[in-house]
Chains A and B, each alone.
Chain A
Amino acid sequence: KQEVTQIPAALSVPEGENLVLNCSFTDSAIYNLQWFRQDPGKGLTSLLLIQSSQREQTSGRLNASLDKSSGRSTLYIAASQPGDSATYLCAVSANAGKSTFGDGTTLTVKP
């Protein structure tokens, strides 16, 4: 059974800092890994999708890496802003079916 863990559970940083969020998964037989952002009481916004054959993906200030063999992914956020404050979720999928989610990292960026 796939299990996804995200560390840290919460993170507070001053504006402008670069930061790294971590995601680990127990079963390396994944099809893809997706990072989401969730604002309080809201839906999930897809940030980045990494296929199992890829090592990283970039979108603006965000960069996600994937090391499938070790069961790890990181989300790097450059030059953090208060608007980045949210919960970041990692989800892995073995096929076109279900995604398994981690508990998330709640990020607070202080002005």
Chain B
Amino acid sequence: EPEVTQTPSHQVTQMGQEVILRCVPISNHLYFYWYRQILGQKVEFLVSFYNNEISEKSEIFDDQFSVERPDGSNFTLKIRSTKLEDSAMYFCASSGDFYEQYFGPGTRLTVT
């Protein structure tokens, strides 16, 4: 069964460093998303992406964040200058018919 994959599973970085989180959505899906979940808190929407552009973003998704689909399979989230409060689990999701969202296993980002 097709699934969303994410790499790495765990990323440790120092405050102020740039990180890139990678995702491979399900191949025939057209909509892509990033969410985050701070430990013990709700899953929060960051951004949605369709037709090679951002279709919606939350107030969390400020100038330090960017997304890209560099080729036909990968979808990346870049955090330019990480802060301690960026520590969270980051989930990629994709959807096709009826916008049913399928989530990846997540990348745990730890900023020290």
Contacts and interface: CB of A to CB of B under 8 A. Distances in A.
A50 B45 CA distance: 20
A32 B43 contact: no
A44 B103 contact: yes
B76 to A, nearest CB: 18
Interface string A71-86: 0000000000000000
A101 B104 CA distance: 16
Interface size class of A (residues with CB under 8 A): 20 to 34
Contact of A43 (B31, B44, B91, B100): B91
B77 to A, nearest CB: 15
B50 A96 contact: yes
A31 B102 CA distance: 16
A104 B42 CA distance: 8
Given A43-B105, A44-B103, A97 B56 contact: yes
Interface string B20-44: 0000000000010101000000111
Nearest to A44: B103
Q: Which applies to chain A's interface (DSSP): helix, strand, loop or mixed?
A: strand
Contacts, number: 57
Interface string A28-51: 000110101000001111100101
A42 B91 CA distance: 10
B48 interface: yes
A63 interface: no
Contact of B43 (A89, A93, A96): A89
Interface in B94-112: 95, 98-106
B106 A51 contact: no
Interface of B: 31, 33, 35, 42-45, 48, 50, 55-56, 58, 91, 93, 95, 98-106
Interface of A: 31-32, 34, 36, 42-46, 49, 51, 89, 91, 93, 95-104
